[in-house]
């Protein structure tokens, strides 16, 4: 869970391309050419192909034999629906976690994610590295609460939502530092409610948090469209 480790070149490439796709750098439906990308990013074709295959598996790209990789087109309505489902499912997970109480290992994981998030967002370093570190941190926090909820149904619903990659807790679509800091403060409030075993507050805060992320995402996509 240590986020200070220096990423490998392959890990950097994967995250760089993931962030570019989430930010709409490559137009929807456009083809990503391995040769052009390797030249543009000054890396060999092998890690580029591996990264593209991973991103296709995550749903950010589509792959057609003999045609290669293209940027997957996802309707805004699908993304919104995925967030709405996530808000309901993760709100229930937070309620269940508060009701049942957190085991010690879950507390350690969540507290580490909160401390690590505080550190990652406190500085003003490289934006891409900061975003990648927070994406990992965000995924750890949400996954720990979902697991603590102990509901297989909730886990299945969240997994279904992740078929829309823009709605995944790992994929930070809109990385505005002030906005993300507020999102992280919400993590602290959610955790406090769970520790207090305030089931209604834990559920409400988690729902509000996921829907606030949805709103940030919609604003980012709208701003992106305005620039075109």
Q: Is the pLDDT of residue 1 over 80?
A: no
Neighbours of 51 (CB within 10 A): 26
Distance CA 30, CA 69 (A): 8
pLDDT (0 to 100) of residue 6: 56
- Mean pLDDT (the chain, rounded): 90
Q: For the whole model, what pTM was predicted?
A: 0.84
Tell me the torsion sign for CA atoms 113, 118, 119, 124.
Answer: positive
- Nearest partner of 209 among 224, 226, 194, 225, judged by Cα: 194
Query: At a CB cut-off of 8 Å and minimum separation 6, what does 6 contact?
Result: none
Query: At a CB cut-off of 8 Å and minimum separation 6, what does 10 contact?
Result: 47, 50, 51
pLDDT (0 to 100) of residue 2: 41
Q: Which residue has the tokens 């003003």?
A: 124
- Nearest partner of 213 among 203, 201, 221, judged by Cα: 221
Residues 71-118: pLDDT tens digits?
999 899 999 999 999 999 999 999 999 999 999 999 999 999 999 999
Q: Which residue has the tokens 């309505």?
A: 77
Q: pLDDT tier at 170 (50, 70, 90 boundaries)?
A: confident
Q: Is the pLDDT of residue 28 over 90?
A: no
- Nearest partner of 160 among 215, 63, 84, 72, judged by Cα: 84
Q: What are the chain's domains?
A: 9-71 (1.10.10.10), 76-226 (1.20.120.530)
Q: Is the pLDDT of residue 133 over 80?
A: yes
Higher pLDDT, 225 or 35: 35
Worst-scoring range by mean pLDDT, 167-171, 173-177, 200-204? Answer: 173-177
């Amino acid at each position: 869970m240590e986020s200070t480790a220096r990423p490998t070149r392959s890990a950097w490439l994967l995250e760089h391309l993931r962030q570019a796709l989430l930010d709409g750098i490559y137009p929807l439906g456009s083809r990503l050419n391995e040769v052009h990308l390797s030249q543009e990013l000054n890396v060999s074709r092998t890690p580029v192909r591996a990264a593209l295959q991973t991103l296709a598996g995550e749903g950010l790209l589509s792959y057609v034999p003999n045609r290669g990789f293209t940027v997957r087109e996802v309707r805004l309505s699908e993304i919104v629906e995925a967030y709405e489902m996530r808000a309901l499912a993760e709100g229930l997970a937070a309620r269940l976690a508060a009701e049942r109480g957190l085991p010690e290992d879950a507390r350690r994981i969540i507290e580490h994610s909160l401390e690590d998030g505080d550190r990652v967002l406190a500085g003003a370093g490289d934006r891409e590295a900061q975003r990648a570190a927070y994406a990992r941190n965000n995924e750890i926090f949400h996954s720990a609460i979902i697991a603590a909820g102990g509901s297989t149904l909730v886990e299945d619903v969240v997994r279904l939502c992740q078929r829309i990659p823009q709605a995944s807790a790992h994929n930070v679509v809109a990385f505005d530092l002030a906005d993300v800091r507020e999102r992280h403060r919400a993590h602290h409030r959610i955790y406090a409610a769970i520790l207090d075993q305030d089931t209604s507050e834990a559920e409400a805060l988690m729902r509000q948090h996921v829907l606030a992320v949805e709103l940030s995402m919609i604003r980012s996509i709208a701003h992106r469209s305005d620039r075109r």
